[in-house]
């Protein structure tokens, strides 16, 4: 695997590989499915590609499709676990240039349902969860894969 020591997601991939990351939900062929670092949106998760690659277009075509399919496996599990109103997907990578997909379950009682998921980002830090709760939630989601 191609990793960079200065990349926060490469370090996360390493921790997932070592099974020391409490947010690990599942290992896919090309990615790890992990719980997000906050739960402002219940079930907020990420699919992080194993290799340090900058953009989806930089992957070979077959891998592009397989990674998207892994994002869909993850999405289906989140849908079945939490029954949200809708899922939002985002892959930006301006801050961390290592392909990752954010998956935000959105709920009907969301105060700003029509807004993008970062609309309340100032509050995200107040919704961090303990390693124990992360493991519990990851186990629950895994049971729906
Ligand atoms: Zn990386």
Instruction: Measure 90 CA to ligand 1 centroid, in angstroms.
Output: 17
Q: List the domain range (segments joined by +) for residue 46.
A: 8-142
What average pLDDT does the segment 87-104 reach? 97
| DSSP state for residue 2 in the 8-state scheme | -
Instruction: Measure 107 CA to ligand 1 centroid, in angstroms.
Output: 31
Query: Which tens digits make up the pLDDT trace of 101-115?
Result: 999 999 999 989 999
Return the axis-axis angle of helices 131-142 and 61-82, rounded to nearest 10°: 100
Instruction: Measure 112 CA to ligand 1 centroid, in angstroms.
Output: 32
Instruction: Measure 101 CA to ligand 1 centroid, in angstroms.
Output: 13
pLDDT range class, residue 2, cuts 50, 70, 90: confident
- Whether residue 18 is contained in a domain is answered as yes
What average pLDDT does the segment 128-137 reach? 97
Which residues are CB-neighbours of 68 under 8 A, at least 6 positions away? Answer: none
Query: Which tens digits make up the pLDDT trace of 30-75?
Result: 999 999 999 999 999 999 999 999 999 999 999 999 999 999 999 9
Instruction: Measure 22 CA to ligand 1 centroid, in angstroms.
Output: 19
Instruction: Measure 12 CA to ligand 1 centroid, in angstroms.
Output: 9
- Whether residue 3 is contained in a domain is answered as no
- Whether residue 2 is contained in a domain is answered as no
Q: With beta carbons less than 8 A apart as the criterion, state whether 144 and 77 touch.
A: yes
- Whether residue 121 is contained in a domain is answered as yes
Closest alpha carbon to 90 in 62, 108, 107, 115: 115
Q: What is the CATH number of the domain that holds 68?
A: 3.30.428.10
User: Residue 1: what pLDDT?
Assistant: 65
Closest alpha carbon to 100 in 61, 49, 144, 59: 49
In the chain, the number of structural domains is 1
> What values do phi and psi take at 3, rounded to 5?
-120, 155
């Amino acid at each position: 695997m191609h990793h960079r020591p200065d990349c926060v997601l490469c370090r996360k991939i390493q921790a997932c590989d070592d099974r020391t990351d409490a947010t690990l939900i599942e290992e896919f062929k090309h990615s790890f499915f992990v719980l997000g670092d906050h739960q402002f949106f219940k079930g907020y998760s990420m699919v992080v590609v194993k290799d340090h690659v900058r953009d989806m277009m930089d992957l070979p075509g077959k891998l592009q499709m397989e990674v998207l399919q892994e994002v869909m496996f993850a999405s289906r599990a989140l849908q079945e676990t939490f029954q949200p109103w809708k899922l939002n997907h985002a892959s930006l990578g301006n801050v961390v240039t290592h392909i990752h997909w954010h998956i935000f379950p959105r709920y009907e009682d969301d105060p700003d349902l029509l807004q993008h998921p970062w609309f309340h980002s100032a509050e995200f830090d107040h919704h961090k969860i303990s390693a124990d709760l992360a493991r519990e939630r990851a186990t629950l989601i895994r049971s729906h894969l």
